Structure 1
Amino acid sequence: MPARRFDKGVVRNVRRAAEISQAAVAQALGVGDSTVAGWETGQSAPDPEKLVALAKVLKRDADDLFPRDGLPDLADLRCDAGYYQYETGPLIGTKSAGPVAGAERGVRRLKDKYVSALAAAYGVTEQELRRAEDRSMAKGEDQAVAGAIDGSTADQPRPPAGPPGSLAEKITLLLDQSFPTPGTTPSDAEIAAAVNARAGAQVVTEQEVRDLRTGAVEAASPVVLEGLAAFLGVTPLYFQPDDLVARQVFEGLQLLSAHRKGKVGRVRARGAGAQGLPPNIMSLVNDLVTEMEQKQGDEASE
């Protein structure tokens, strides 16, 4: 998941508007005056572990001052709580940060006995922590799946990343996979405008879309969900609590990602995901592979 974005000009302007000196910021964060000056001139940037505290000093919400485009993974939760990775061992009662480091890299999941303590330290619920862990696992899974399709890392299995559960995860998954090129992802304002246009009335605002996307609000009216589905190109059933539909969309997007990377051919032989692809998705795989093979043949003959 993307880290928070830091803009030196925005920080400088906010600090000046609040009439807070660089020295005051430095003292509050435990850094030198020159360090804060360096942040504002672009010579350096604050550690991600400092951003939430910096926003607090400047009397601004961190999501507003340092936004992120997606939902947080484990590393993001840790940074938001102000902990460096090496500090997490004592949080879960271990001598080293190994368990947390492994989970953040998507190598292995946290043991159940660590979850409660870590969630409390990060100021989130255990469910939020597990969902962030799923996103960290997904990063490792993406790398493992790509390697397994090539046959290069088949002996290095990673914990599978399941389909999205919450409404925010469902929206984020579609945005990430449907608009993979940087700078092409529609803004919250554009999404709201599209939903309102379809409804023929203002049924959602830019802020409300942002709240849905970030998980601040966990439910939306049927007319908003229908508009989101139409804009993002999925059936409205995708946003309902139906695991089968969500899984099929998830697997379909994985297939699309493999297609973009030119690695879909071997998916036909092995399927994808922890339980393989559903029959209807496998049918799509076969059709897509055939289409790609024909296209490659045409290009070779030119």
Structure 2
Amino acid sequence: MAPRRFDRDRVRALRRARDITQSELGDAVGVGDSTVASWELGSSTPDGEKLPLLARFFGLPLDDLFPRRSGEQPDLADLRCDAGYSQYQTRELIGTKSSGPVANAERGKRRLSPKFQGPLAKAYGVPIEELLAAQERSFGIEVPAASGGSSVPRSVAEKITYLLEHSYPGAQTPPSDAEIARAVNEHAGGQVITETGVRKLRTGDDAELPPLVASGLAEVFDVSPLFFQPDDTVARQVVEGLRLLAAVRTGAVGRVAARGLGPEGMSDELLSFLNQVVEEMADREKPGADGPGH
């Protein structure tokens, strides 16, 4: 966690310079005057979600009044506090009876279901990518700010959501749950999943992914079946591959080149697979060629 620094002397100086009593400041941020006094004495510090209220009260930017240490990036709890929410209040943001899903994610115990990611990102005022990067930090995985918050999808729901969000650039429309189910069944040669089944996988209500369905999903999204294996290294490599393929689709690169992926690197097998897909895409775009199947 990268909490913000609370400078009690500066807060006290700001309050006195504006002739504001401790009671008035406490009323503004929802605490008693004794609490404000303990802050200024240094015997306690404000809860993180109180800092935005204090910054607004004094009319100063949050990063100016309560900066983070240089180079430190926020985790999920930091994003929540910056938005001014207590952990208890998050249950209303995600529409649940308890704040358990958020609390577990903040403590690095269980990642957020995809159905909670959008509402939280909106409430916190950050892109989903930034929310997911902060979540990785809550699990002890450092994600640099320069990476754009592109954390590795791990659950089946996260992987399907990632593919839907990143495999259809421009005016292309992602397939519906019904279209995905139909394509998977065609690939399998019989019914192996329904529209409802796809929806449950996508929303995280069902985490069981039969091999035939995984193979069909890989075919639908034009990715390696390795993507759906429970291996962070493989998932990270395929995510990188999808970024490169997106660049190919937009004309940014003509051929996939090996790129550093930390100690793992991109395997020769995966690189060969990606280059093969790039060549197939180039063939499809030639005059008279059939368009993509999805």
**Greater CA radius of gyration, 1 or 2?**
2
Higher percent of residues as helix: 1
